[in-house]
């Protein structure tokens, strides 16, 4: 019985990893198509949102099945536990420090944005953000995408890959972390070079938060929150036309465009 479960675990892990790599490769090949969603109509984006939600939860179900079927892996091995607090562990302290910095920066950034908005210095729209909802009908599904993709990515990139690599195959933690982060960055190739750099920074912080606390709770919460901010805090649409300075416009200043990392993927949720 134990042998059968061990074989089943390896098969399911192989399917999950191949699915993940295939989705990443597919996203890279279709990056121009994904970017084209910025100019597409609501119907096309809504279909894309639905595919992302379904595929995300399908992969989450597969990861859950691996934990339930395995005799060698527990939920705690994949981060399904509450975060630990250990003041004597320097890496744990670093993780909590980075989490606190992230939250502080998010609050301060949100307050600054509201202040600028009240002073009519709103940041211009971001026409290069393919997943940002542009119509009211899209917003509910876009929120579902933020939650689904954020949860799925953490369960796969942080929980599954790192947990399986270290506990099941006994690989060195650093090797597994580098592989996980590399796949995560490549998965954001549709965002261009700057977007991939941003994904790398965010992924590194989330990885430290996971490894340092031994839990997916905080990485999932941070990732979902980041996705929601990226989708809803900054407006989307075509950039404003340039207006020559004159008596009515001389006092108006245009803020620089801000590129924010949109959630994880379009056709490949993990």
Is the predicted pLDDT of residue 34 greater than 50, yes or no? yes
Spell out the domain ranges in the chain.
2-232
DSSP string, 54-123: HHHHHHHHHHHHHHHH-SS--TGGGT-SPPP--TT-HHHHHHHHHHHHHHHHHHHHHHHHHHHHHTT-PP
Average pLDDT over residues 2-28: 87
Average pLDDT over residues 1-19: 87
Average pLDDT over residues 118-137: 66
Q: What's 222-240 look like in SS3?
A: HHHHHHHHHHHCCCCCCCC
Task: Name the residue among 177, 226, 217 with its Cα closest to residue 199.
Answer: 226
- In degrees rounded to 5, what are phi and psi of residue 48? -65, -40
Task: Report residue 175's pLDDT band, with 50, 70 and 90 as the boundaries.
Answer: very high
pTM of the model: 0.80
Helices then strands, counting H and E runs in the chain, come out as: 9, 0
154: Cα separation from own chain's centroid: 8
CA 215 to CA 55: how far, in whole Å?
23
CA 17 to CA 191: how far, in whole Å?
23
* pLDDT single digits (tens) 204-256: 999 999 999 999 999 999 999 989 888 887 655 444 444 444 444 444 444 44
Average pLDDT over residues 82-108: 85
Is the predicted pLDDT of residue 105 greater than 60, yes or no? yes
Q: In residues, how long is the chain?
A: 270
Give every CB contact of residue 193 below 8 A, 6+ residues apart in sequence.
none
Half-sphere exposure of 238 (CA within 13 A, CB side): 6
Task: Report residue 29's pLDDT band, with 50, 70 and 90 as the boundaries.
Answer: confident
Backbone φ/ψ region at 120: left (φ over 0), alpha (ψ -120 to 50), beta: left
Structure tokens at 177: 């972390």
Mean pLDDT of the chain: 81
What is the number of other CB atoms lying within 10 angstroms of the CB of residue 229? Answer: 17
């Amino acid at each position: 019985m134990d042998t059968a479960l061990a074989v089943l675990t390896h098969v399911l892990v192989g399917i999950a990893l191949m699915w993940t790599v295939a989705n990443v490769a597919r996203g890279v090949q279709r990056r121009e198509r994904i970017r084209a969603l910025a100019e597409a109509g609501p119907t096309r984006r809504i279909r894309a949102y639905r595919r992302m939600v379904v595929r995300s939860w399908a992969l989450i179900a597969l990861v859950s099945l691996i934990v339930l079927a395995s005799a060698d892996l527990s939920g705690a091995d994949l981060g399904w536990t509450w975060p630990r607090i250990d003041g004597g562990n320097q890496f744990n302290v670093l993780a909590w420090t980075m989490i606190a910095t992230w939250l502080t920066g998010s609050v301060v950034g949100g307050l600054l944005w509201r202040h600028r908005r009240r002073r009519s210095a709103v940041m211009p729209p971001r026409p290069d953000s393919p997943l940002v909802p542009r119509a009211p009908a899209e917003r509910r599904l876009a929120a579902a995408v933020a939650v689904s993709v954020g949860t799925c990515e953490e369960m796969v990139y942080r929980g599954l890959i790192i947990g399986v690599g270290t506990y099941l195959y006994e690989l060195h933690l650093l090797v597994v972390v580098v592989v996980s982060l590399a796949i995560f960055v490549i998965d954001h190739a549709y965002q261009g070079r700057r977007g991939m750099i941003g994904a790398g920074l965010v992924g590194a912080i989330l990885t430290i938060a996971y490894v340092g606390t031994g839990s997916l709770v905080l990485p999932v919460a941070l990732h979902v929150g980041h996705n929601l901010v990226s989708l809803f805090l900054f407006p989307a649409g075509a950039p404003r036309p340039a207006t020559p300075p004159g008596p009515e416009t001389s006092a108006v200043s245009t803020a620089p465009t801000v590129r924010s990392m949109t959630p994880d993927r379009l056709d490949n949720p993990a």
